[in-house]
Structure 1
Amino acid sequence: MKASQPKTRQHLSLTDNALTRYFTFSALYIAQGIPEGITFFAIPAWMAMNGKSPMEIAAFVAVIGIPWSFKILIAPLMDRFTLLNMGRKRPWVIFGQLGLIISFLSLGLVSDPLYNSFGLMTAGFFISFFGAFQDVATDGMAVDVIPETEQAKANGLMWGTKVIGTSASFVIGTWLINTVGFSIAVSSLSVAVAAIMFFPIYFRERPGEKLMPWTPGEAAPDSKQTQLRSWKHIFKSLYKVIRLKSSVVFGIGVFAIGIMFGLMEVHLPLFTIQELGWTNTFFSQVLSISMVAGGLLGMIVGGYLVDYFGKIKMLTLYLGILTILISAFASMSSLWSNNIVVYIFLMSYFALYTFLCIAVFASAMHLCWKTVAATQFTLYMAANNMGRSAGAALMGVLKTNFSWEFIFVCIALIPVFMAILMQFVNFKKHRVRVDSFVLLNQTLVAPRVIKE
């Protein structure tokens, strides 16, 4: 036996065990969902409950959305640099998770947060920054180690657990804020984020790699072959794949649907609290139940539906139903006082939201080239988050000038645009082109691997 090859159990590596992959990525997505539930839902609802204006709430959501829009600046660093003997992306996942823990704790230290907009926005910005950082690394690692046949199923579990983490932190966070105060509420939830650090520390990407820099292990051969060490090759490879028609069309589509998500994220707490007269506690409970139900459905059948019927068919179906649902609700203003009608709308919307996100993520992974997976996948997600931020900012303008009904109708038109665009995406043709790039890339990387 070679002295340099450490003994590792097979279940400790993500590439060798499907259950390990599912548990690890689900846990990491819960870690993203907990602070997101606080920053994107609980705090805006809390602000609305305390009489803050739509412009103030929209400004907060827009600011915390900025880091998610610029993930593309982080991703190339992860594709270019890493501690390869610990894995291509796992070192970055650990770093991002650590930063997320620290920044989430710092939110609880903001004094008088309701009247300290600068402090609240600054802490929220850094939570989003490290959340985005961890997200880029996690997604890059997922594209790298999850087989194509498992991508839809894995995305169903990942996105479902994130939605559950978001909704659970939303309702628990809202209850804690109203019961024990802002600082204790945020600090309490940060403990759960810290506990999830166990997963990226304990599970390797590939057999034989180091757990930590000071433990024994070595880089896996396929990691050496895939990893590029030249900025020129990274950006040249990225340009080759993103200029393909399906990449361009998909990027425009996810930006458009991001605008819808951003509008709804700001619209719902304003609409239910300031128009319907709900309390932030009641809103958090209803929204949490709706999100959990959607998340559970997504985990159970979301991935299987995409696998069975195909990505384009399911994307088109979800987008079409979303348009009908939102348009129908806009035309029922006389029934908005009936809570049952609102419950049905919210539960239907969040179920469709979860299913749509699963299909979008699985589609984005399928379009990615592993050599630049972190950067390419992040480019799609950055386009979506730029749309979210734009939608959040746009909400303040729309509410100042237009009625609730008109805003709902505007939101309902966005899925139609994306559904039309998705008909121009061809996954089979795209994969053929990417496979031809892989063969060319091996001629670039192989001589360097031999020399090392």
Structure 2
Amino acid sequence: MAKATNNLKNRFGRSLTDNALTRYVTFSALYIAQGIPEGITYFAIPAWLAMNGKSALEIAAFVGVIGIPWSFKIIIAPLMDRFTFLAMGRKRPWVIFGQLGLIVSFLNIGLVPDPLNNLSALMVAGFFISFFGAFQDVATDGMAVDVIPPNEQARANGLMWGTKTIGISASLVIGTWLINTVGFSIAVSSLSIAVAAIMFFPIYFRERPGEKSMPWTLGAASPDSKQTQLQSWKHIFKSLLKVVSLKSSIVFGVGVFMVGIMFGLVDTLLPIFTIQELGWTNTSFSQVFSVTSVIGGILGMVIGGYLVDYFGKIKMLTLYLGILALLITVFAFIPNLWGSNIIIYSFILSYYTFYTFLCIAVFASAMHLCWKTVAATQFTLYMALSNMGRASGSALLGVLKTNFTWEWVFIFIAIMPVVMAILIQFINFTKHRDQVDSFVVLNQTLVAPPVIKD
């Protein structure tokens, strides 16, 4: 019995760097916490607004505003790379802070009076949910790049993105049911309970052995953390500029911005299109979206990471982007079949399945391009570019729908993945890693202590 207990402890220890199972469970939980605010702000609230007769322009404006904090993550990331409480880890203190902010901001949005006729206040409250969601996201991603070995990155991203999708779907279904049952204020405020429960993971688990769990507990900074941590803004921005100036970094950044436009357009479009064009209720939309997203998320968790590992990042990125472009184009040319639930369900299921697979491949690619020295800032730069594209796409939908039919809107969306598919053919991951490794060797040479001769 004691032997079995010891084996379990070895498999599921408290240190992220020493335990694969601990890494998978912790990052999956933190990504569920990221999915909860997205499910409410990007899907449940827009569907509720559409159900209550708000225009596409008003809903797009709301989604555009809540997308702004995700675009400015690049301002937060250098702060995390520069400042931290090393005795608790390089990124874990920031994860805890972001999680606390999410709890408070969920409680705050429930205090907005008459939200249907007070969209400005609703936007401000939604902005703060997105701000702390982005904050937690930056810290979590930075910690993931720090502690997840390269050979686990695709598999870990499959689990992380899959659980995030489940978090989005669960919060959408439960949030929509609560909004329709007990009212908006109680519904959104109650979600802080789920976010608070996930706080257990960043508090209990540590990045590296010997670190403090909390500021008042025993422990000390890890030698690895001390060696990796940069001590000046000059070194951070000089190192960042060095790695993002590489050709593969530039091409990837442009590509994720373009595909981000597609994400923003589709996410904002679906609740408006299904409710106001097809006559669905917000409950119907939430149920269909959630079921299809969960299926996509589970497939992503089970096989998404393995496909990227087995066939390679460029091949799978190209395949997923091509399938999405073809899927959206075909849907644009069959408006006479939009009245069929089977067609709509199939489209949403197919889109979110390959969307999940694409996100897993994009995240794994971004991690592979990162230099650990400025991991949070560099990874966040890629994600900020994607989120800038997403916010642009969300805001752009109102303009497109005002001037064009739904068919032309879908055709415009299909162009975005084609552009990224072309761009990524110019990325060379092997050459990029060799260049980053040469930076590491150079840095070690520059900071090496002088040799003292007898």
The TM-score bracket by the shorter chain reads over 0.9
SS in 2 for 1:299: helix
Unaligned runs of 5+ in 1: 1-7
Which residue in 2 is equivalent to 1:249? 251
Task: Please tell me whether residue 221 in structure 1 is matched to residue 223 in structure 2.
Answer: yes
Report matched runs for 1:42-441 at 5 Å: 42-441=44-443
CA–CA separation in structure 2 for the residues paired with 1:314 and 1:10? 32
Give, as a single letter, the amino acid of the residue that structure 2 aligns with 1:420. I
Q: Percent identity?
A: 79
Distance 1:30 1:107 in 2: 20
- Between the aligned partners of 1:365 and 1:170, the Cα distance in structure 2 is 29
SS of structure 2 residue aligned to 1:423: helix
Q: Within 2, Cα distance between the matches of 1:97 and 1:440?
A: 37
CA contact (8 A) 1:48 1:57 kept: yes
| Secondary structure of 1:82's aligned partner | coil
* Residue 18 (structure 1) aligns with: 20
Shift of residue 9, structure 1, vs aligned partner: 10
Let me know the Cα RMSD of the aligned residues. Answer: 1.2
Distance 1:9 1:381, change over 3 A: same
Q: Alpha-carbon deviation of 1:171?
A: 1.1
CA 201–446 in structure 1, closer or farther in 2 if over 3 Å, else same: farther
Query: 2-side partners of 1:185 and 1:415: how far apart?
Result: 36
Task: Give 3-state SS (helix, strand or coil) of 2:191's partner.
Answer: helix
Q: Deviations over 1:396-429 (max 9, x none)?
A: 0000010000101111111100000010010000
Give distance in 2, aligned partners of 1:421 and 1:333: 31
Q: Is the 8 A contact 1:225 1:446 kept in 2?
A: no
CA deviation profile, 1:118-169 (whole Å, cap 9, x unmatched): 2100110000000000000000000000000000000000000000100110
**Is the 1:153–1:302 Cα contact (8 Å) retained in structure 2?**
yes
Distance in 2 (CA, whole Å) between partners of 1:446 and 1:137 is: 29
Partners of 2:35 and 2:83 in 1: CA distance: 27
Task: Assess, with a 3 A threshold, how the Cα gap between structure 1 residues 414 and 334 changes in structure 2: closer, same or farther.
Answer: same
Letter of the structure 2 residue corresponding to residue 14 of structure 1: L
In structure 1, distance between residues paired with 2:191 and 2:105 = 12
For 2:203 and 2:16, how far apart are their aligned partners in 1? 12
How much does 1:373 deviate? Answer: 0.1
Query: Any conservation in 1 of the 2:264–2:390 contact (CA below 8 Å)?
Result: yes
1:297, 1:446 → 2: CA distance?
47
TM-score (normalizing by structure 1): 0.96
For 2:448 and 2:346, the matched residues in 1 are separated by 57
Aligned to 1:5: none
Deviation track 1:346-377 (CA, whole Å, cap 9, x = no partner) reads 00000001000000000000000000000000
CA distance in 1, matches of 2:447, 2:54: 56
CA distance in 2, matches of 1:407, 1:261: 13
* Amino acid of the structure 1 residue aligned with 2:395: A
- 1:69 and 1:383 in contact (8 A); partners too: yes
TM (norm. structure 2) is 0.96
Q: Residues of 2 paired with 1:371 and 1:215: CA distance?
A: 27
Q: Which residue of 2 aligns with 1:4?
A: none
Question: Is the Cα–Cα contact under 8 Å of residues 225 and 442 in structure 1 kept in the other structure?
Answer: no
CA drift at 1:443: 3.2
Partner AA of 1:410 in structure 2: F
Contact 1:225 1:445 in 2 (8 A): no
| Kept after mapping to 1: 8 A contact 2:296/2:352 | yes
Q: 1:327 to 1:9 in 2, by over 3 A?
A: closer
